[in-house]
Amino acid sequence: MFNQRDFFKYLAISVFLHLSVFCFLLDNGNKKKSVCLSVPVEVFFNSPLHKKADQSIAPVSKSSNVQTKQQETDQPMVSSVSDGNSVQTKLSPDERKKTKPVIKDSFVKKKDSPKKGTNKTKIDNKVAEKLKNQTTNRQPVKKGRENVVSKSLPSDNDSNVETFQSPDSPAVSVSYGSQYGEVSFDTKNFKFSYYGNQIGKKIISQSRWVESYGKFRVLVYFKIHKSGTISDVFIKESSGNKEYDKNALDAIYRAVPLPELPESYEEDFLGVFFEFK
């Protein structure tokens, strides 16, 4: 009745298949997998990443080792990229788009200064003078802006990119998509590094500029009050492109309410320079 030969053949096959599944699962288990299993849908709410984002070059952020390391450990996503599989190759352009800004996102540290040091000597006197003249007109700006030095940074395709840094409150740089921003304050008394980072992130994430529209830079000044509301928003240095200026102002208005100022900061408001680029 029982055809034993056949039975064992099938049994052997089934055992083999079981084993293969088991091995596969083991192998799969070794990869670092996070709990979230969601959907391969790309959702862009604020600034849709454009193809050209690949080519964008970060003028400021070249030392982001510390952060990128943490990003990698935090996010299994990055490690899974290196595992070769067919799906990955198909999606790799998207991936490139995505990871690039992540890697570029950085916080300017003192480490940078020796690198930039070579360029520090090339202080653009004209711009610095111009700035000083402008700042003397405005009361609240006057105090801190005297220390502001504008220096040209090395950049591969755009020599107009400048950063503003006062020695007391170093500028905080933030990025989102293909957009970069730098925050600096007009006072020496503000001693909270987290705040610049926080508002920088919030404002830059509201920018809807796509880099293919053009590359500009604009400097905006505004005051933040205790409760996180803003006032006196104006363009300090125009980019020469009305649309870009408007985008910068819109991004700031959209980011309201900003976080409240720290309680131990005694002034009523905080003057902020925000540079979009």
Partner 1 sequence: MNLNKIIKSTAMKRISFFVFVISHLVVSCFAHDNIYLSLSASQAKRSGIAIEVFVPVGKDANTASFAKYIQEIVKNDLILSRYFNVVDKPSGNFNTKEKLLSLKHMNVFVILAASVSNEGKNLVVKIKMTDVSTGSTIWENKYTDKSCNYRYLAHKISDEIVKRFTGETGIACSKIAFINDGTKFKELYIIDYDGHNLRRLTKDNRINVLPKWSPRGDQIIYTSYLCRNPDLFILNIVENKRKILSKYQGLNVAGSFAPDGERILLTLSMKKYPNLYLINLAGGILRKMTEGMHIDTSPSFAPNGQEIVFISDRAGYPQLYIMNINGGNVRRLTTNGLCDSPEWSPRGDKIVFTMKEARGNHDLYIYDLPTAKIIKLTNNQRNNENPTWSPDGRFVVFYSNRSGKGEIYIMAIDGSGTRKLTEISGTSYTPAWSPVLTR
In the complex, minimum distance from the CB of residue 85 to partner 1, in angstroms, rounded to a whole number: 6
* CA gap 58, 156 in Å, rounded: 9
In the complex, minimum distance from the CB of residue 1 to partner 1, in angstroms, rounded to a whole number: 6
In the complex, minimum distance from the CB of residue 168 to partner 1, in angstroms, rounded to a whole number: 11
In the complex, minimum distance from the CB of residue 71 to partner 1, in angstroms, rounded to a whole number: 6
* CA gap 176, 46 in Å, rounded: 10
In the complex, minimum distance from the CB of residue 242 to partner 1, in angstroms, rounded to a whole number: 21
* CA gap 29, 12 in Å, rounded: 25
Structure tokens at 172: 């905080």
Which residue in 150, 162, 154 sits closest to 125, CA to CA? 150
Q: Give the residue ranges of DSSP H helices in the chain.
A: 4-30, 65-74, 76-82, 86-104, 112-120, 125-137, 139-145, 193-204, 242-254
* CA gap 178, 50 in Å, rounded: 8
The torsion of the CA quartet 272, 226, 268, 107, rounded to 10 degrees, works out to: -30
87-94 contacts, C-beta under 8 A, 24 or more apart? 91/40, 94/42
Q: Cβ closer to partner 1: 70 or 119?
A: 70
